[in-house]
């Protein structure tokens, strides 16, 4: 379905980003990966799906590096048709103890990076299909883009912000073939969440399994994690013809978290 298209997925060396990259590649899209840590494993995994893959190591907190990544992607594959703004970090502390430097980092990586990548991707998307436009911008927000949780001020502020940015991006392009939507996962067992499970286990002197059950029990009625595969399938839907007029939604996949 996406053969000949190019998808750039930020923060795609692990977790949800890698899951979405995998799902888009399985539909035939060429992929530009980004993120830290092991890059060879994810690159080989995507290439094995029979598509072209490139990697750029832009630090998403740095606008100049984001600009270099977008130029690199266009040089590699012509243009970016699908942009998935996924890179994100977490920091947990009460507001009065929240390190100012962590606040700035969370806002830069989880929110401002999406603004920069979006503003740089839009002109080519708007010019596609003889000026009628075609493009998909998918922002990986969070259920924390819809509701709050204590000790996550920067994350909740950034995720509410990205849901707002999603709506404005969708509205400004509503008469074109460029859509923008947000995905709002509940708990997904990635390294980002494993750290929170480990902290809970250490603080309570309990096992990993008990900490996991506690974490789910506090927020997620389904008592199960959403998977990167499920989130990848939702991203594929947004890219499909059926998604042509889905604009500005914040779609939660959260086991009922926000329904409470």
With 0-12 / 13-18 / 19 or more C-beta atoms within 10 angstroms meaning exposed / middle / buried, residue 233 is middle
As given in the structure block, the two tokens for residue 101 are 């430097």
Q: Please, which residues have CB within 8 angstroms of residue 31's CB and are 6 or more apart in sequence? A: 6, 7, 8, 9, 12, 21, 24, 25, 46, 51, 52, 53, 54
250 binds ligand NAD (CB under 6 A): no
Choice between 126 and 231, CB closer to ligand NAD? 231
Is residue 88 a contact partner of residue 154, using CB atoms and an 8 Å limit? Answer: no
Choice between 118 and 190, CB closer to ligand NAD? 190
Distance CA 41, CA 18 (A): 11
Q: Please, which residues have CB within 8 angstroms of residue 157's CB and are 6 or more apart in sequence? A: 107, 111
As given in the structure block, the two tokens for residue 112 are 């401002």
Number of residues that bind ligand NAD (CB under 6 A): 29
Active-site residue flag, 55: no
Q: Which stretch binds ligand NAD (CB under 6 A): 72-80, 82-90, 171-179, 200-208?
A: 82-90
Choosing from 31, 84, 87, 154, the residue that interacts with ligand NAD (CB under 6 A) is 87
Residue numbers 98-127 binding ligand NAD by CB under 6 A = 109-110
x/- binding map, residues 18-47, to ligand NAD, per CB under 6 A? ----------------xxxx----------
**CA neighbours within 13 Å on the CB side: how many for 158?**
29
Catalytic residue among 155, 187, 225, 257: 155
As given in the structure block, the two tokens for residue 146 are 């819809």
Residue numbers 127-146 binding ligand NAD by CB under 6 A = 140, 142
Is residue 103 a contact partner of residue 61, using CB atoms and an 8 Å limit? Answer: no
Choice between 109 and 235, CB closer to ligand NAD? 109
Select from 14, 41, 40 the least CA-distant residue to 194. 14
Q: Which stretch binds ligand NAD (CB under 6 A): 15-23, 96-104, 114-122, 203-211?
A: 15-23
> Least CB distance from residue 37 to ligand NAD, whole Å?
5
Q: How far is CA 254 from CA 5, 61, 100, 103, 148, in A?
A: 29, 27, 30, 25, 14
Choice between 86 and 179, CB closer to ligand NAD? 86
> Least CB distance from residue 189 to ligand NAD, whole Å?
7
Residue numbers 174-233 binding ligand NAD by CB under 6 A = 185, 187-188, 190-193
59 binds ligand NAD (CB under 6 A): yes
17 binds ligand NAD (CB under 6 A): yes
Choosing from 9, 54, 60, 154, the residue that interacts with ligand NAD (CB under 6 A) is 60
Positions that interact with ligand NAD (CB under 6 A) = 11-17, 34-37, 59-61, 86-89, 109-110, 140, 142, 185, 187-188, 190-193
**What positions carry a catalytic annotation?**
155
């Amino acid at each position: 379905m996406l053969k000949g298209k190019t998808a750039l997925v930020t923060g795609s060396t692990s977790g949800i980003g890698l899951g979405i990259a995998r799902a888009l590649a399985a539909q035939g899209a060429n992929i530009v990966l980004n993120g830290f840590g092991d890059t060879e494993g994810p690159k080989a995994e995507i290439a094995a799906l029979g598509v072209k893959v490139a990697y750029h190591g832009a630090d998403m907190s740095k606008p100049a590096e984001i600009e270099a990544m977008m130029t690199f992607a266009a040089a590699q594959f012509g243009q970016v048709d699908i942009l998935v703004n996924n890179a994100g970090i977490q920091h947990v502390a009460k507001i009065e103890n929240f390190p100012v430097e962590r606040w700035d980092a969370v806002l830069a990586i989880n929110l401002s990076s999406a603004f920069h990548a979006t503003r740089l991707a839009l002109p080519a998307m708007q010019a596609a299909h003889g000026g009628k436009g075609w493009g998909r911008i998918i922002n990986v927000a969070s259920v924390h883009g819809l509701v709050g949780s204590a000790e996550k001020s920067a994350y909740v502020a950034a995720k509410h912000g990205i849901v707002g940015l999603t709506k404005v991006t969708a509205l400004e392009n509503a008469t074109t073939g460029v859509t923008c939507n947000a995905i709002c996962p509940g708990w997904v067992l990635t390294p980002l969440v494993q750290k929170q499970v480990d902290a809970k286990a250490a603080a309570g002197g309990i096992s990993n399994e008990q900490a996991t059950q506690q974490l789910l029990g506090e927020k997620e009625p389904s008592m199960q994690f959403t998977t990167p595969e499920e989130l990848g399938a939702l991203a594929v839907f947004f890219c499909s013809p059926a998604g042509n007029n889905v604009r500005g939604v914040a779609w939660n996949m959260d086991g009922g978290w926000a329904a409470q």
